[in-house]
Amino acid sequence: MNFVYKMIASLILIVGITSSTYAAEKYDTTAFRTATKLCSACHGSAFYMAKQIDDDDWDFYFNTEGKLEKLHKDKPEGLVAVTSPLFEKRKKRLLKFFIANSKYSGAVNGCDANFCGTNH
């Protein structure tokens, strides 16, 4: 009987740790920080920017060759950001982040250590 209690306690502990770890990772913090660093000066917070368009639009802008560069051609700071090595390195993560937090995604992120409210 003592063995059964230990097994149940171990299972509860594993489930608790797994669920708390999952809850802490609501979004990709690397993509969030990259978007904040490269884009927030013009577009506001990363979550605010993601909510401006839906997932299909994000997919179109990121996967149409030269589209982001064309959109930012009259904005030197933006053009530097979308052509930077950091942007190219994290482009797939950024797209995934923007889609996960896009207009009709249902994601509503509140305050945490990285973000609180909108800044635009």
- Per residue in 56-91, pLDDT tens? 999 999 999 999 999 999 999 999 999 999 999 999
**SS3 for 115?**
coil
**The pLDDT of residue 119 is above 50:** no
CA 87 to chain CA mean position, Å: 14
Cβ burial of 111 (10 Å; 0-12, 13-18, 19+) is: exposed
Rg (CA), the chain: 19
**Quick one: pLDDT band at residue 25, thresholds 50, 70, 90?**
low
Phi, psi values for residue 109, rounded to 5°: -95, 130
Residue 24 has pLDDT above 50, yes or no: no
To 5 degrees, how large is the angle CA 35–CA 37–CA 39?
55
